[in-house]
Amino acid sequence: MKPVISVRDLEEMVRNGKDARSLPEDALLTPSARDFLRDLEGTGNLKSPRADAGRSTAPATPVTSRSSRAEIEAFFNSPKIHALKLQICEIGRRLWQRAYVDGNGGNIAVRVSEDLVLCTPTLVSKGFMKPEDTCFVDLEGNQFCGTKKRTSEILMHLQIMKRQPRAVATVHCHPPYATGFAVAGVEPPTCMIPEFEVFASVAIAPYRTPGTPEMGKLVADLVDQHNTILMANHGVVTWSHNDVEDAYFKMEILEAYCRTVLVATQLGKPVNTMTAAQLQDLLKIKQSLGIPDPRFGLKECELCDNEGWRPGVTCAVAGPGDGSAAAAGAPDPEAEKLVQAITEQIMSSQR
Ligand SMILES: [Zn+2]
C-alpha cells in the first residue's frame, strides 16, 4: 500500500528537523500536504511557513525551564512572545464579548517551547486583559514570569499538553449552550452540520473540583481522540495543533452547533441528518487536516449513531401502580397505547 502523507506528517518532519521533501517516491499527498510542500519550495527553507508568521508555537526556540532566569525573562519579553500575548488578549476579548466567560472565569494557554507555556492570570476578566497580565509557567505549573499569579486551572491545560504533544494551544470557558449540554450530561448529537463534524471531536469528562489534578487527568484521558471536551457541570476546554485562534474557533463552532441543535429540536419536526456516506466524506477531510476523531476507520453503518441522544421532553405516561395517576384520574388505556406508538415512531425516525 502506498503511504499517505498528510500535512500533519510534514509538520512533524519539519519540527524534528527532517527534510519534508525527502518522501518515498510512491507517497500519496493529501491536498493540504501538497500546498504545504509548495510553500516550502517557495520559501526555499525547511521551516514551516506558519512559524515564520509567528502563528505556530512549535518549539522552534531552545529556551526551556532549564535555561537561566535571564534567558527565560528575555524570551518572555521578546517580540515573538509579545505577539502571542496580544493574541491571547484578543481571544479573551472575543470570549467575553460572546458571553462565553463570566466573572473571572475561563483561561487560555499557549505552549511556546518544549516545556514553557504562556497563560492567562487568575482573578482578571478575560475581556480586559493586558499583555503584561500574562504568565510563563513550566509543564508542572511552576511560574517563571509575570507579575500576576497564573490561573489555578492551568494544571488542566498542562495535563492536556503533556498527554497530547500536538496540543500547542488550549482554551477553556463556559459557553452557555454547550455548558447546558455538559450539565445535562448530553453529548451533542452528530450528522447534522458539516462544520461541527470536520473541526470538533467531542467527549464529556465527569465532574471534579475545577483546578484539581484529578479533573485535569479526566480531561487528559480524552485528548488522544478528542479536541473538544465538555466538562460535566462546568464548561468546555478545546485544544489545537495549530494555534490559539484555532482552539478558540472550536469553541465557536461547538457553541453555535449546540444552539442550532436546540432550535432545530424545538420546531416540532423530526430533524434531518446527513447520511453515513456524507459523513464519511467529511471525516476524510477531517483526517487530512490532522484533527483526531474516534470514528476514523469505522464502518458506515457505525457512523451517525446518536444512541443516547433524545431531543426534547417526552410525556411520561403514568404506570398503573402510580398513586399520582389515580389522583389525576386513571389513564385511558387506548390513549396510552396511542401516545406510546407515536412516541416510538418519532424516536425511530430520529435515530
Ligand atoms: Zn472554568
Q: Model confidence over 91-109: pLDDT tens digits?
A: 999 999 999 999 999 999 9
Q: What are phi and psi of 157, to 5 degrees?
A: -60, -45
3-state SS class at 87: helix
Query: What's the CA-to-centroid distance between 181 and ligand 1, angstroms?
Result: 15
The pLDDT value given to residue 299? 84
Above 60 in pLDDT, residue 59? Answer: no
Q: How many Å apart are CA 246 and CA 130, to the nearest integer?
A: 21
Quick one: cell of 15? Answer: 519540527
Give 8's pLDDT tier (boundaries 50, 70, 90): confident
Span 140-198, pLDDT tens digits: 999 999 999 999 999 999 999 999 999 999 999 999 999 999 999 999 999 999 999 99
Give me the DSSP letters along 190-254. Answer: -SS-HHHHHH--EEEEPP--TTSHHHHHHHHTTTTT-SEEEETTTEEEEEESS-HHHHHHHHHHH
Neighbours of ion ligand 1 (CB under 5 A): 235
Query: What's the CA-to-centroid distance between 72 and ligand 1, angstroms?
Result: 29
Span 200-238, pLDDT tens digits: 999 999 999 999 999 999 999 999 999 999 999 999 999
What global pTM score does this model have?
A: 0.72
Q: How many Å apart are CA 66 and CA 73, to the nearest integer?
A: 12
Question: How large is the average pLDDT for residues 317-344?
Answer: 56
The pLDDT value given to residue 17? 61
Query: What's the CA-to-centroid distance between 106 and ligand 1, angstroms?
Result: 5
The pLDDT value given to residue 45? 36
Query: What's the CA-to-centroid distance between 177 and ligand 1, angstroms?
Result: 15
Give 337's pLDDT tier (boundaries 50, 70, 90): confident
More confident residue, 241 or 54: 241
CB 66 within 8 A of CB 40: no
More confident residue, 119 or 9: 119
Q: Residues with catalytic annotation?
A: 153
Span 289-304, pLDDT tens digits: 999 999 998 888 778 8
Give 340's pLDDT tier (boundaries 50, 70, 90): confident
Q: How many Å apart are CA 264 and CA 46, to the nearest integer?
A: 48
Above 70 in pLDDT, residue 46? Answer: no
Query: What's the CA-to-centroid distance between 19 and ligand 1, angstroms?
Result: 41
Give 14's pLDDT tier (boundaries 50, 70, 90): low
